Amino acid sequence: MIQKIYILLAIFLYSNAYAQSVKSSFAIVIDNEHYQQLSKEISAYRSILLEEGLNVHLVIEQDPQPENIRQYLHKLYTDSFLEGAVFIGNIPVPMIRDAQHLTSTFKMPQQMDWIESSVPSDRFYDDFDLKFEFIKKDEENKLLYYYKLLPESDHAISMDIYSGRIKAPATSIDESVAYIRKYLNKLVSERQKNNPLSHVLAFTGEGYNSNALNSWGSLVTGYRTQFADLYQQPNHIRFMNFRNKENIKPVLMSALKNHELDFAYLNGHGLPDEQILSGHPEVSNPQASMENVSRYVRQKIRETDEAQQSERKNQFQRILGLNDKWFGNIFDTTAIAADSLYHAQKVISIADLRSAEINARLVYLDACLTGSFQLNDYLAAHYPFGNGQNIAAIANSVGVLQDLWANQLIGLLQFGTRVGNILKHTAYLETHIFGDPTFFFNYKEDVTVWNNHITHNKNIQHWKKQLSTPHPDIQALALTKISQLDKKEKATALLRNYFYNSSLETVRTTCFLLLKKIQPADWYKIVIDASQDNFEYLRRIAITEMGEIGHPSFIQPMIELYFQDRHTNRTVFNVERVMLFFDKESVLTAIDSAAAHQPIFDRIAIEELKEKVSKESFFDKAYLDLNKSQTTNRQAGFAITIMRAYRFHQYVPVIIEFIRSSLKNEEQLIPALEALSWFNRSVQKKAIIEVCQEVIDSKQTSEKARQEAFRTKKILQYQ
């Protein structure tokens, strides 16, 4: 026992001596035009960082070029213990192509508008294992540089440093300078205050996660575990849901203006210029229901081209049984104004943020598109650049997964963890910090030493020691570090132990996600066991993983869960979606088997589920027709494209046969190969890699098709 104490003491002294001996550094990257007018403010910001124990590299770019910035940051990372960077002003925005598999869910055909179908991402600058090739510079917006991810690149996000953007929502240099000057002055002032994390708000908007109360409850449960101290006086944590009030906007905005608020987590749907808070009210009385229908009809017809409006009206009359009175005031100016005001109360707009004072120091926008920083104006920027005390906003540059675990490791905020050091372990291609990425909430212990450990300490024993802490997110971080540093076998055994034995929901979920990266031999069993966990979020993502893999052993437990969890909307939604990826007869057999021993009161539900499975869908017909001689390019394109979003494992052999018969048809061959690149965890993976090699070796295919086959093969082989 004494020997063990001496060993732990030695590890502790070594770890702290190591962290104190390392002088971590940070890079401020700014274009010269902005720097010439902001040198005083940049100097003040730099002084704050120096006081907090960071060496600061000031990188002033006369003619900013993405490759040069990336190379210099890489050199600083190699030579100077670089932990992060911030990009201020007009620093180029990398627009990444051929990398949608590194996003949480974004899938848009790349033949569409390039600004829409590329992913604006600073992973170009902060993840040095990703390899890119320059394509072109945008002809109109000179800040946008298009790159494609190379097949020989890593195919997973593993950030070497963290990064943030201080990019003003402006169209002129003068306007941008004014915005940034105001922000930097506020930043320096706020960073000089002693502000521990003590007030948190979590808001859930309409339509998110199928409006499932169990999913919302999963969020609440996670926060109760991650922020236990906030449930004690004098701290505060508040949960707000769009259902709490028909017009929730003024209530939420009042909460965000609270000077005591430290962190606000806002999840819902979003656009580049709006956060969607509420939809039409959920009502049961006839008058309110009629008002909902009226607004819906007016909106849809106004959105319809004039030539099609009469047909749309007839459609509504036929389907909804509406008479002419419902359509009388569609283009009445009073009705248009009233509907516009009604809509404005359902969203937070850029105009709202310009006039409001958002005082939450950190805001997480768990929504699509609000961080579209390739645009001159984007909603997320108006949080840090507004009149309140907000320092940073985390937001997404493209569409984002609804089942995202956005509060992963978020409990680390209360221990003085820099925002960037959390993002570094959780980000997708689209996830970004707008504002200062070095921002942290004060803690009673030395945050410089703590952040140095997170950034630079690769001592396995140090991280194993952290597993003794009662705080779940420190345990989760330690497990993350150990999984990166230790041998695969040892890391797998440790993660498996915590997955099965930890009483902390967020720790078990972290283990599940880390084991998914490792893919141990018993991974399928772990997935099945996760689908039976008490934590709703873990059950939910386990079902998604079953769909990604498509192994027959998942069918019975998936159907069993469907009947046990019918009250859990999002889990049921996921099961109904992914059960279509399995053999129909096997699914129907599993339904009968489950129904035979399940205490199901509503027996009609069994027949309804069987009908959903057994009926031929337009998906089925698309694949049955795919290899027929009369199939047109358009029909084939539909069948191929939907494979990007739906894992129809049972139809992969059909696509493979289609590829073999289309070696000379580049127009059909390339999309088919690209679609199969999304099956990187599929039971059909080996067969896909084999057909890719056939295309690569074929003398009938074009060089472009062989390159696509090579890309798909590399994505599937990457682990």
Cα–Cα distance for residue pair 95/116, rounded to 1 Å: 10
Exposed e or buried b for every residue in 108-134, given b needs 16+ CB within 10 A?
beeeeeebebbbbbbbbbbbbebebee
Between residues 632 and 525, the one the model is more confident about? 525
Q: Are 528 and 562 in contact (CB under 8 A)?
A: no
Which H or E run contains 270?
strand 269-271
Containing 241, the helix (H) or strand (E) segment is strand 236-241
Helix H or strand E segment including 274:
strand 274-276
Q: What is the helix (H) or strand (E) element at residue 57, kind and residue range?
A: strand 55-61
pLDDT at residue 586 tops 80? yes
CA dist 343 and 687 (Å) reads 50
- Residue whose pair of structure tokens reads 């049961």 in the numeric block: 284
Give the helix/strand (H/E) hosting 55: strand 55-61
Which pLDDT score, from 0 to 100, does residue 7 have? 37
The single-letter code of the amino acid at 451 is N
**CB-neighbour burial class of residue 602 (10 A; exposed 0-12, middle 13-18, buried 19+):** exposed
**Cis upstream peptide for 64 (omega within 30°):** no
* Most confidently predicted of 161-170, 205-214, 233-242, 656-665: 161-170
Which residues, in sequence order, are CB contacts of 483 under 8 Å at separation 6+? 491, 495, 514, 517, 518
Average pLDDT over residues 579-601: 89
Q: Is 639 exposed, middle or buried (0-12, 13-18, 19+ CB in 10 A)?
A: buried
Closest CA to 141 of 119, 115, 120: 115
Q: Sheet of 119-120: strands edge to edge?
A: 119-120, 93-97, 144-149, 132-137
- The two three-digit tokens of residue 486, written as one number: 């230790």
Report the alpha-carbon distance of residue 128 to residue 574 in Å, rounded: 35
The label of the residue with tokens 């701290």 reads: 235
Please determine, for residue 313, whether its predicted confidence score (pLDDT) is greater than 80: no
Task: Tell me which residue of 4, 3, 12, 162 sits closest to 462, measured CA to CA.
Answer: 12
Residues 663, 664, 668, 669: is their CA dihedral positive or negative? positive
Q: Which of 76-85, 230-239, 276-285, 400-409: highest mean pLDDT? A: 76-85
Position 22 pLDDT exceeds 80: no
DSSP 152-201: TS--S---SSEEEEE--S-SSHHHHHHHHHHHHHHHHHHHTS--BS-EEE
Q: How do beta strands 362-366 and 347-349 pair? A: unpaired
Sign of CA dihedral 175, 177, 178, 183: positive
3-state secondary structure of 618: helix
Q: Is 395 helix (H, G, I), strand (E, B) or coil?
A: strand
CB under 8 Å to 114, separation ≥6 — which residues?
95, 97, 138, 146
Task: Judge whether 664 and 700 are in contact, CB under 8 Å.
Answer: yes
Give residue 633's pLDDT.
Answer: 60
Q: What CA–CA distance (Å, rounded) separates 330 from 310? A: 12
> Can you tell me the mean pLDDT for 121-127?
98
Positive or negative CA dihedral for 244, 247, 248, 252? negative
85 SS3 class = strand
Confidence class for position 5, pLDDT limits 50, 70, 90: very low
| Of residues 366, 393, 397, 399, the one with CA closest to residue 381 | 393
pTM of the model: 0.91
Alpha-carbon torsion (439, 442, 448, 451), positive or negative = negative
Amino acid at 283: V
Report the mean per-residue pLDDT for the chain.
90
For residue range 235-291, list pLDDT tens digits in order: 999 999 888 888 899 999 999 999 999 999 999 999 999 999 987 777 777 777 777
Query: What are residue 421's DSSP bridge partners?
Result: none
Q: How far apart are CA 439 and CA 419, in angstroms?
A: 6
Answer yes or no: is pLDDT of 1 > 60: no
Six-digit token string for 361: 């120091």
List the beta bridge partners of residue 431: 396
Give me 394's structure tokens: 């985390």
pLDDT of residue 13: 43
Q: What percent of the chain has pLDDT over 70?
A: 95
